[in-house]
C-alpha cells in the first residue's frame, strides 16, 4: 500500500476513534457518573469541572435549533459539511492535512449523532479560572474539531507558501532567479 493511501486510511480510522471516544465520554459522564441533568456538576480539579449542558446550537451555541425543523436542518447541514470534509480528506496527500481533517470529521460525526438521537449536543467539559470561563463548556468532539481547524489553519498560513514555492521552482519552464 502506498503512503498516501495508508495516510488516508489512518485518517479514517482516527476519525472513527475520535467519534468512539466522544460517544463513550458522553455516556460515561451522563451514565455511570450520573451528571445528566441541567445544573449537575462534579469538580475534578480547581480549574476543571464536569458540568452537564445541552447545546441546541452549533459552534459557540450559535444558530440554536428552536423547532424540530431547525433541528433537522442543522443535522442536514452539518452532515453535508461532514461529507465535504470526508471527500477533502480522501483527496489530500499531506499527512498534516489528513490529520486535521480526520479530527474535524470525527468530532462532527460525534455531534451529529447527538443531535440526530437527542435533538441537542451533550457538553460537559468546563475549564475555568475561578468564575472566569475562557471557553464555553465543550466535549471531546468540540475539542477535536477545534484542534483540527487549528492544524488546517497553521498549515495554510505557514506551510503552503513553502510548498507552492517548491512546486513553482521545479515546474518545467519555471523562470530562473
> Which sequence positions are flagged as catalytic?
123, 142
| Secondary structure tally for the chain: helices H, strands E | 5, 3
Comparing CA positions, the residue from 124, 151, 148 lying closest to residue 136 is 124
- Cβ neighbors of 128 (< 8 A, separation 6 or more) are 47, 48, 49, 134
Distance CA 10, CA 102 (A): 9
Distance CA 75, CA 79 (A): 6
Helix axes 68-91, 95-118, angle to 10 degrees: 160
Q: Which residue carries 443535522 as its cell?
A: 75
- Residue 124 · residue 139 · CB < 8 Å: yes
Phi, psi of 122 (to 5 degrees): -80, 120
Amino acid at each position: 500500500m502506498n503512503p498516501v493511501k495508508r495516510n488516508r486510511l489512518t485518517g479514517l480510522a482516527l476519525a472513527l476513534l475520535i467519534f468512539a471516544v466522544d460517544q463513550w465520554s458522553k455516556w460515561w459522564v451522563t451514565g455511570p457518573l450520573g451528571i445528566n441533568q441541567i445544573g449537575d456538576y462534579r469538580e475534578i480539579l480547581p480549574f476543571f469541572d464536569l458540568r452537564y449542558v445541552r447545546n441546541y446550537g452549533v459552534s459557540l451555541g450559535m444558530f440554536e435549533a428552536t423547532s424540530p425543523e431547525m433541528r433537522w436542518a442543522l443535522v442536514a447541514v452539518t452532515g453535508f459539511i461532514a461529507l465535504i470534509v470526508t471527500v477533502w480528506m480522501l483527496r489530500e496527500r499531506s499527512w498534516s492535512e489528513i490529520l486535521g481533517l480526520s479530527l474535524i470529521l470525527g468530532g462532527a460525526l460525534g455531534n451529529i449523532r447527538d443531535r440526530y438521537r437527542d435533538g441537542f449536543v451533550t457538553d460537559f467539559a468546563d475549564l475555568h479560572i475561578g468564575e472566569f470561563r475562557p471557553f464555553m463548556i465543550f466535549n471531546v468532539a468540540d475539542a477535536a474539531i477545534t484542534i483540527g481547524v487549528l492544524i488546517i489553519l497553521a498549515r495554510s498560513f505557514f506551510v503552503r507558501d513553502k510548498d507552492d514555492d517548491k512546486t513553482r521552482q521545479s515546474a518545467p519552464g519555471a523562470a530562473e532567479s
